Structure 1
Amino acid sequence: MTEKPAIALIAHDLMKDAMADFARTHEAVLSGFSIVATGTTGQRVIEACPGLDVTALKSGPLGGDQQIGALIATGGVTLLVFFVDPLTAMPHDVDVKALTRLAIVYDIPLALNRATAEPLLRALG
């Protein structure tokens, strides 16, 4: 039996509602994947879609971004969906840049907004 591929979900604070809505809208497709998410984002997705296989890691600034980065580097993530809030300064901006860099280096699809995430998810599902 093969393990389900993993999708990483991350959302800045003001984008967490949008991520929960994205998960609800695409719950059927997401059910074919394991989901890894940073702490609060993961909890919000679990609340929105209790039937999904979601692992909530640490909060992004407390190491969750690095945990997801490690999964990308070891081939454990198929798609990174990171709903970024471009209008709010983020003290852990270097972590965001590191994740986008890893997605590029390891050649995995990266979506920074819903308009990109939806067609990528459809292509994988």
Structure 2
Amino acid sequence: MVLEKTGENKKTLDIKKYAINLIIDLARIYGLAVECDSSNTEERFTRANERGMLSEDAYKNILNTYQYILMFRQHHQLEALKKGEEPDNHINPDSFGSFERGNLKDAFRIISSLQEAAKVRFAGRM
């Protein structure tokens, strides 16, 4: 898990920067590879799976990861609103329970695995 190293959000996880944007970028890469004209992240992964570019396991894992990360961010932002705070994407890891911490570690492992697969698959093509 990558935490911000400087600034007012030091020692927080920017869930958008270090998770959501990475997944969206992966969907774009796979979408381009299968000539998917949709701008929807899940649709791009679906087309890549249908065309054999993603295994069924990788497809299910990345979709579940994407949905979990979005839900996690939404929960964080709703909690901020309840406290009268401005919602953001910076989450203090001290606020994670062991369940959340484990799920986030799994999510980052899945993202990293798909990044590595994309590097191998598309090396020299882009």
Q: With structure 1 as the length reference, what TM-score do the two structures score?
A: 0.32
Which has the larger helix fraction?
A: 2
CA radius of gyration, larger in: 2
